[in-house]
Amino acid sequence: MKIGILTQPLHNNYGGLLQCYALQTMLQRMGHEAWVLQRIHRYEQNCWRSKAEIALKNVVKRLIGREVCKRISEEQKQTVGRHTHYFTEKYINPRTEPIYSTHRLKQMAYDLGIEAYVVGSDQVWRPMYSPCITNYFIDFDCRSQVKRIAYAASFGVDHWEYTHHDTECCAALVKHFDAVSVREASGVDLCKRYLGVKAQHVLDPTLLLDRADYERLVANEHETQRDGSLFCYILDKAANKQQVIESAAKATALQPFYTMPELESTIANVTRDIEACVFPAVTAWLRSFMDAKMVVTDSFHGCVFSIIFNKPFWVIGNAGRGMARFKSLLSQFGLEERMISVQNIATTNWQKPIDWQRVNARRDALRVEALQFLQKSLTL
């Protein structure tokens, strides 16, 4: 079967890239031809929310000046993301060219002869992150014979962020899906309460592959051993998070190391020192988990890959990016106690082990359920 995958735009986010790679790889192993439909942000006339965003942006420009609203150039983006783009080019195939409009998305799907859509994973159902939220409920294809499946679709949060207009549109569209699954337990309730559909709670796609699958990627790229033993994967830097890292390092005598750009990709930084803004390779990031003796992170997929590689980890809750994801993941594996904050670092037992035999057994059982959901949904 020819399947079109609709996921978040593929940029420099390690978790976003690897969840797409994992979902596509699993569908291919099931015998399907899985295409990633690269829906990308660009303001368009037939996605009503974008017009409002354009108006808001114009107001901001008038109020605080155009200089503040500048973005880095396409050439600079290519430099900053040269290693992550390499991973996409080599390992996420087949995929379409970038698609900037609903009209082009429809045309591309028809030209490819897409027979089924799999929407997922990551925060594909979170409006604030979406190029056009209704596209992720398949508003562009009215063919009744086409299968529509949501696999581990995520709202990111446990409260409703949709406008009344979005809710009405998406609730009508999702009724045509053959099967719906979500990544967070809270998503089951959101689907029932606001969209009027029953959803199944399943694993993030990255957890469908084995540790050996990721180790092969690292071996393919000949990644060398990382310097350090305490892998700190922090998306949103803050002084309180540095306190957590310093406390963990002191208590365990482990050496912190990072696999992220030295500088954020702002206009000022890329102009002054663009090389310091370059994202390390995806496989270097994976190698970091392999070499770590412990992980401290504020990232959902930082937690996921700690579990995959069986590395003791501590997660600093990242409310801005959505806490529901963390709580749901940790509760799935009985690891709620791995969530910490600066307020409780003084009483944290940094040496406390994780029962990996129990965690791995739980993961195996959940993986069987998830794969059964995918197989059944595609053969109905």
pLDDT digits (tens, 9 = 90+) for 270-298: 999 999 999 999 999 999 999 999 999 99
Residue 319: predicted pLDDT: 73
What is the pTM assigned to this prediction?
0.92
Domain span including residue 261: 225-355
User: What does the pLDDT look like over 182-230, one tens digit per residue?
Assistant: 999 999 999 999 999 999 999 999 999 999 999 999 999 999 999 999 9
Question: What CATH number should be reported for the domain holding residue 161?
Answer: 3.40.50
**CA distance linking residue 220 with residue 87, whole number of Å:** 11
Residue 323: predicted pLDDT: 84
Do residues 195 and 279 share a domain? no
Instruction: Count up the domains in the chain and report the number.
Output: 2
152: alpha, beta or left? (left if phi > 0; alpha if psi -120 to 50) = left
**CA distance linking residue 134 with residue 56, whole number of Å:** 21
**For the chain, how big is the Rg over CA atoms in Å?**
21
The three-state secondary structure class of 256 is strand
Residue 168: predicted pLDDT: 98
Do residues 24 and 88 share a domain? yes
Place of tokens 């070499």: 291
> Whole-number mean pLDDT of the chain?
92
Residue 342: predicted pLDDT: 82
Residue 289: predicted pLDDT: 98
- Is the pLDDT at 61 greater than 50? The verdict is no
- Is the pLDDT at 52 greater than 60? The verdict is no
**CA distance linking residue 370 with residue 205, whole number of Å:** 9
What is the pLDDT confidence band of residue 324, given thresholds at 50, 70 and 90?
confident
Do residues 371 and 350 share a domain? no
Do residues 181 and 241 share a domain? no
Q: Where are the alpha helices (DSSP H) in the chain?
A: 14-29, 48-64, 74-80, 82-91, 102-112, 164-174, 185-190, 211-220, 239-252, 267-273, 282-291, 300-308, 323-332, 356-379
Do residues 32 and 103 share a domain? yes
In a domain, 216, yes or no: no
- Is the pLDDT at 85 greater than 70? The verdict is yes
The three-state secondary structure class of 168 is helix
What's the number of CA atoms in the CB half-sphere (13 Å) around residue 107?
8
Residue 300: predicted pLDDT: 95
Do residues 268 and 145 share a domain? no
User: What does the pLDDT look like over 325-338, one tens digit per residue?
Assistant: 999 999 999 999 99
